[in-house]
Chains A and B, each alone.
Chain A
């Protein structure tokens, strides 16, 4: 499944002129507000007619202004989850969930009602009215409603942006399950580094209506210069690890990665479970010798592979720790004092307490301790 977009569209003073192609499991359209991400997703959904361009999903051309082709939204079979849920107020949750199924040709219905309800944990809400749901519940129902129309592609337009942190943490695991347990490709709009790093397989970075970069999540998250100013502190390495063991005595979980063991505060996931963590560049210290008498628990040996100027009097140092790139943001002065240079052998030092739920993800709650 590939999504191919090449359009130019003008909305008053604002112009979107973007070209992108993605075949990822979950492609994030990432950028600050006003960068054109929502316009782009609305164009894919068919909610907006582009001035000029072409959109194709999985080889099926949906828009081609040169050929005068525009497939209306109800014929695209593209699911959409809106920021404001948009549940139908005059129907129960079950009615909302079953709405799209009606319009799906029988032969193309692959979504199973019970499976989707179970996946999203909304079985106890079926009889309720949307007005009686919390923000997080509404969003889960909205995801279910889109899924049950058996879409070929699922678009999510900042589905967590209007929720508080607790509600976000409630929904993120469900989106992860959606990504891992269904075959539907997802295009996910977000301005949050935390969400993108945790969910995306691929990232397309947008700024002022243009694509400025695209690629695998790990590579993009290292490019601190691409991140919006207010989110720059959140940037860093994205590491795919799995839980080696839990250290109950000290309330920690030990994660295994190619770079070595990483200790983080206790995660509510079973042993062996995959966990994607983000190591903020500003949380990484650099030592030129194996540190002794240091409180930080994570010390990863590696080699400096890149030194880039950062924001203000800082530098960004990329360290290759056994094939995994860890990014550190340190001061110009430290770099000078430690005489850091390309190829130098160093140790990346990360405090366990610098990991929080935003960088490790709480994971789905489990009944018994793994």
Chain B
């Protein structure tokens, strides 16, 4: 079993980096995810279908295309990339932040879908009742809507995290495969498969990848169940 736990420093870095990238991607996409889900579930406006299509684009495009588009817009010479670098000093290209951005974009449709479904299931009469009790729309959202969509939020967050853990195509296209900076688990596994004698390393990281993804899934199940029990929805 020793060969399994005896990771090289580079491999450890890949594991740590993957978890960091996935966590940041998940947390950063939650606020816009909730907003877009609310807009799609409840808004009635011209261009809603277009917005819906745009959100789902990363799901249907080849990941390489998404990665290349990110490179074009958020790269050093890209419109958004140049602006962000000059104004705020935020650089995405060939940094771990770029990997997080790519993962967030790829996981976004999955997150929005999960949250949107739970928003649609919220009984708006509850919100009206809260309004008659004196709560303004912001409070209604914080005290009624948000708790009621919590199971969907958890599901969406875990989906986004799991997607980020496995994201490869867009990430490697956008930020390449630099050890200690942008080399996430899938990139590291890919590298191992490209060199002679890399089988053991690839297998080690594959197993770790499976364990992390399973743990995330189980955690989400347990959380969702606990929330469900607390709410006792009929």
Contacts and interface: CB of A to CB of B under 8 A. Distances in A.
Interface centre among B133, B148, B232 (most CB of A within 10 A): B133
B214 to A, nearest CB: 29
Interface string A112-146: 00000000000000000111100000000000011
Contacts of A145: 133
Interface stretch (B1-9, B124-132, B198-206): B124-132
A74 B136 contact: yes
Contact of A80 (B129, B135, B139): B129
A78 B234 contact: no
Contact of A89 (B137, B139, B232): B232
Contacts, number: 75
Interface in B96-125: 123, 125
B222 interface: no
B128 A90 contact: no
A149 B126 contact: no
B231 interface: yes
Contacts of B143: 99
A196 B150 CA distance: 42
A90 B147 contact: yes
Contacts of A311: none
B230 interface: yes
Interface string B222-234: 0000000011111
Contact of B133 (A84, A90, A100): A100
A110 interface: no
A45 interface: yes
Contacts of B131: 46-47, 72-74
B134 interface: yes
B144 interface: yes
A145 B234 CA distance: 20
B231 A90 contact: yes
A72 B137 CA distance: 10
Contacts of B144: 88
Interface residues of A, number: 30
A14 interface: no
A331 interface: no
Nearest to A129: B232
Interface string A62-74: 0000000000111
A149 B134 contact: yes
A10 interface: no
A46 B128 CA distance: 10
Nearest to B150: A90
A246 B29 CA distance: 72
Contacts of B139: 103
Interface string A53-92: 0000000000000000000111111111010101011100
Given A74-B135, A131-B234, A88 B130 contact: yes
Contacts of A72: 131, 136
Interface in A170-191: none
B186 to A, nearest CB: 38
Given A89-B233, A90-B147, A131-B234, A103 B128 contact: no
Contact of A90 (B134, B136, B148): B148
Interface string B15-59: 000000000000000000000000000000000000000000000
Nearest to A103: B134
A104 B134 contact: yes
A311 B131 CA distance: 45
Contacts of A47: 128, 131-132
Nearest to A77: B134
Contacts of A84: 125
A298 B148 CA distance: 58
B126 A86 contact: yes
A262 B140 CA distance: 53
Interface centre among B139, B144, B230, B232 (most CB of A within 10 A): B232
24 contacts: A47-B132, A73-B131, A73-B132, A74-B132, A75-B134, A77-B134, A80-B132, A82-B129, A84-B125, A86-B125, A86-B126, A86-B128, A88-B130, A89-B148, A99-B133, A100-B133, A100-B134, A103-B136, A130-B232, A131-B232, A131-B234, A132-B232, A145-B133, A146-B133
Q: Across chains A and B, which 6 residue pairs bring their CB atoms closest together, nearest first?
A: A103-B134, A100-B133, A131-B232, A86-B129, A80-B132, A129-B232
